[in-house]
Amino acid sequence: MNITYKTMSTLFNQTRFAKSVFTFLIIFSVSTLNIFSQSKVGTTIGQFLKIEPSARLVAIGNAGTSLSDEATAAFYNPASLGRINGIDIQFTYNEWLADIKYNYATACLNLDGFGTIAMQITSLSSGDIEVTTVEQEKGSRLYYDVTNFSIGLAYGIMLTDRVSAGLAINYLQETIYNTSLSDVALNFGVQYQTSIKGLAVGASVSNFGPRASYDGRDIYFNYDPDPTQYGDNSRLPGELRMGSFALPTLFRVGISYSLDISDWSKFLVASDALHTNDNTERINVGGEWSFLNTFAIRGGYRDLFLKDSEGGLVLGAGAKVGFTNTAKISFDYAWADYGRLKSTHRFTVGVHF
């Protein structure tokens, strides 16, 4: 036996640390989200923060909490950055529902022993929407749009050879015509690579932050307290009282297993369980078969057990090829079914050094 007391002690400390972090995340999740265990769809702001950017991980059923081999995995769990070496850059274009356009870009850099830093940018636009009124129900020839924007920084580090932790902070802004709001969201998580080869677990909290409310010139108006009385001030300044709303906070816990079938073939299965403050609990599952060290075929199902869910099936494929001795470029595609809302198409391109 080559197992020494020091080795056993190190393994024990790693396991104990991982269990402590997971216990904290679970207690934190229950204490902050338990009061929202029922469905409260449409009661939170920043809904665009829930749109998953990675075509690869979307095609694996959105089960990315325990995965860590690309920059966009930080969306699910910033602890994934701790396992990225070198430089990773990815861009996503998403043909979202109702012709809404969604774009995402991220870049991360390993600091050689000091962890990995990343920057993320997200934008969403509805395009031009014609203004209608009671008097002009067929159109007024006036147009407005809805835009969402987020920019953030993230950091991940290996605490031990098996445990990684990460933190991300995002500034977000939502604009509807002449009214907008801004807020700050915090993401944090941990991943643990078990002693069983290929088996990993992860847990994370996303979009934790203060409540926010809309403001802008559209909430101000002129008010006449008594339209039947003449000679008084008929243009008193008025203001609509805007309520404050919470961010769509999510708690994720996930597990994945990667199996090397041969020198040129690998199979990955993953699953996430989600607990949110604006909907009921659900499970995501998926898998990926990669072959010839280049190509991959993926499939999965999202939102299992979610009440009144639309669709759920996701499919996709991708390829990663080398174009220099030290760099590779990847192309990924994902199709997602949303039932009566039809489907979405995501395209992700990445450069990996």
CA 346 to CA 42: how far, in whole Å?
24
Listed range (36-50, 100-114, 184-198) with the worst mean pLDDT: 36-50
Q: State the CB neighbour count (10 A cutoff) for residue 353.
A: 13
Residue 81 pLDDT greater than 90, yes or no = yes
- Closest to 170 (Cα-Cα) out of 153, 147, 195: 153
Residue 92, pLDDT score: 97
Q: Are 244 and 212 in contact (CB under 8 A)?
A: yes
The answer for residues whose C-beta is within 8 angstroms of residue 3's C-beta and 6 or more apart is none
Place of tokens 């979009």: 207
* pLDDT tens-place string over residues 101-143: 999 999 999 998 899 999 999 999 998 888 888 888 777 888 8
89-120 exposure pattern, b = at least 16 Cβ within 10 A, e = fewer: bbbbbbebeeebebebbbbbbbeeeebbbbeb
Average pLDDT over residues 259-287: 93
CA 105 to CA 119: how far, in whole Å?
8
Say how many Å lie between the first and final Cα of the chain, rounded: 39
Residue 1, pLDDT score: 42
- Closest to 163 (Cα-Cα) out of 9, 16, 3: 16
Average pLDDT over residues 182-192: 96
Average pLDDT over residues 73-100: 94
Interior angle at CA 319, CA 107 and CA 123, nearest 5: 35
**pTM of the predicted model as reported, rounded to 2 decimal places:** 0.84
Mean pLDDT taken over the chain: 87
Both tokens assigned to 226: 């008594």
Q: Are 108 and 87 in contact (CB under 8 A)?
A: yes
Q: Are 33 and 251 in contact (CB under 8 A)?
A: yes
CA 62 to CA 40: how far, in whole Å?
22
Q: Are 252 and 274 in contact (CB under 8 A)?
A: yes
For the chain, helix, strand, coil in percent to 5 are 15, 50, 35
In this structure, which topology does domain 5-36+56-211+246-352 adopt according to CATH? Porin (2.40.160)
Average pLDDT over residues 232-259: 89
Residue 136, pLDDT score: 82
Both tokens assigned to 221: 């108006």
CA 81 to CA 329: how far, in whole Å?
19
Residue 334 pLDDT greater than 80, yes or no = yes
| Strands 163-176, 220-223: pairing kind | unpaired
Q: Are 331 and 316 in contact (CB under 8 A)?
A: no
Compute CA 160 distance to the chain's CA centroid, rounded to the nearest angstrom. Answer: 26
Within 13 A of 80's CA, how many CA atoms are on the CB side? 26
